[in-house]
Structure 1
């Protein structure tokens, strides 16, 4: 089962505080959407409204063509998977996965068969008789996912589901989560503050800030062509250089004039700054470098703007000595005007 979702003009207040400001978002059936942003940006509030745990102060939520704005959670075609998994410690894995079906009145034989199907899908069919305490964190996460999918929701809501896992296991589970979503075809709405996690699993990323959507697009679009300065900063490291239009009578660092119709900010990802490229940044001195395995992370001080620091990711075998002066170049610049940077 799967369904599309339409959020229209959703505003939500907690007393005098406005957590969401007229949010509009359309999610296609079978799409993997990630709500991404810092703590307090409104992403969990929006997920709670989708799940029916909160009723918006204004606006509407439509799932599969049906208005669900004021429908109770138990009557919605949604299931929520939380970070703590909430598995029953006294039940076997099979009974944990079958629990939602049991609550819906499904017979024992049918619900056990469905539970085994789900456990097989997440690679735990041979552990169906075990209890949750006998599993690793990653295995418990898989059981929680199997339980959520066993009731065949149209939309699965995931609230920081990988947050309790260590880095290596989290990356492994990102791949598995995306593979399972593709297999079942259910619409996934996933909340996280982890940019790498969002990039790994999302069809589209919704970057949120202070209750508003800053940018909604594919991982490539949000990273390479961010719509706002907040989105550019939040989606990874970025060099920012002020620019002014030609004839403004104001000097920009590095002499980068006439690059924007109005005053704005030139954004450059570190991997797009180096010793070759189509945009000349001028001479610069290497002041610091560190080896990160796949690249050298280098800090350059442009001679024309010695107080400015530009971060560049240079290849493993190629970086100058500390103190060396080089010609610095850039590729794929993104220019955000003051309106966009606000």
Structure 2
């Protein structure tokens, strides 16, 4: 089973604090949507409202076309996976996964069969008799995911489920989470503040800021063609150059006025639009690239962060001509 989610003009106030301000969002059936933003932007509040853990101050939420006003968490077609796993330490993995089914009156034999199926789905086949303390953090997170999926929710809500994992394991779990979502076809709504994680797993990223939706679209568009300066800066490092009537320190390279945004990897020693001569100030090898800082020869107050290829031979003090592509004026 899977269902779409309609968020219609939702606002949420806590006293004088406005956590959400007139937010509207449609999530399609079977879509993997990531709510992304800094702490305090309202993303977890929105997830909790979808899950029924709070009622909005204003607006409506519909799941599968059904209005959820007054419907509590246990009666909604949703389940939630939290960062802290929330597994029962005294229960086996099989009993943990089957707990929601037990609460719904499903027979023991059917619970065990479903638990085995779900544990197999998350790569833990044959481990149903183990207990949570015998597993790694990544394996416990898989069990939490299996438990949530065992009750066949229409919508699965994930509240920063990978935040407690180390970088290598987090990346592995991102791949697995994406693959599992494709297999089960359930609508996933995932909250994170990690931009890389959002781009790795999402069909669509919803960038939130100060209780509002700042941007909304597929990862490539959000990163390469952000609609606001906040999105441009939040999604990764960016060079910002002021432009007035087509004039900027890099020359007449764009029309209009605003802020010219250029990603560090979009600047190089060849290809694209020439943007002038720059002196290399310092560089550091980052494995996948060389992170370099350049200072303009013609405008000393203009510095650029540039990601050069691994084999770059530029040395500090050297003056080179730089070229840019994928520039966005905001």
Task: Please list, as runs of the form range in 1=range in 2, the aligned pairs for 1:111-260 lying within 5 A after superposition.
Answer: 111-246=111-246, 252-256=248-252, 259-260=254-255
Q: Which residue of structure 2 lines up, in the alignment, with residue 14 of structure 1?
A: 14
Residue-pair matches, total: 330
Considering only aligned residues, what root-mean-square deviation do their CA atoms show, in Å? 1.0
Q: Offset of 1:286 from its aligned partner?
A: 0.4
Could you state the TM-score of these two structures normalised by the residue count of structure 2? 0.98
Could you state the TM-score of these two structures normalised by the residue count of structure 1? 0.95
- Kept in 1, the 8 Å contact 2:4–2:30? The answer is yes
Tell me which of 300, 305, 329 is aligned to 2:323.
Answer: 329
User: Residue 126 of structure 2: SS of its match in structure 1?
Assistant: helix
Q: Which runs of 5+ in 1 are unaligned?
A: 337-342
User: Residue 253 of structure 1: SS of its match in structure 2?
Assistant: coil
**Structure 2: how far apart are the matches of 1:48 and 1:218?**
23
Residue 260 (structure 2) pairs with residue 266 (structure 1) = yes
**Structure 1: how far apart are the matches of 2:28 and 2:159?**
19
Q: Which residue of structure 2 lines up, in the alignment, with residue 99 of structure 1?
A: 99
The C-alpha deviation readout for 1:212-269, integer Å capped at 9, x for no partner, is 11110000000000010000001011111000114xxxx6322346x243x3100001
Dislocated runs of 4+, deviation >3 Å: none
- Kept in 2, the 8 Å contact 1:102–1:111? The answer is yes
Residue 310 (structure 2) pairs with residue 312 (structure 1) = no
User: Residue 276 of structure 1: SS of its match in structure 2?
Assistant: coil
User: Residue 112 of structure 2: SS of its match in structure 1?
Assistant: helix
- Kept in 2, the 8 Å contact 1:245–1:260? The answer is yes
- Kept in 2, the 8 Å contact 1:296–1:319? The answer is no
Task: Please list, as runs of the form range in 1=range in 2, the aligned pairs for 1:54-69 lying within 5 A after superposition.
Answer: 54-69=54-69
Q: Which runs of 5+ in 2 are unaligned?
A: none
Q: Offset of 1:303 from its aligned partner?
A: 1.2
User: Residue 320 of structure 2: SS of its match in structure 1?
Assistant: strand
User: Residue 113 of structure 2: SS of its match in structure 1?
Assistant: helix
Q: Offset of 1:304 from its aligned partner?
A: 2.0
**Structure 2: how far apart are the matches of 1:319 and 1:313?**
13
**Structure 2: how far apart are the matches of 1:185 and 1:330?**
40
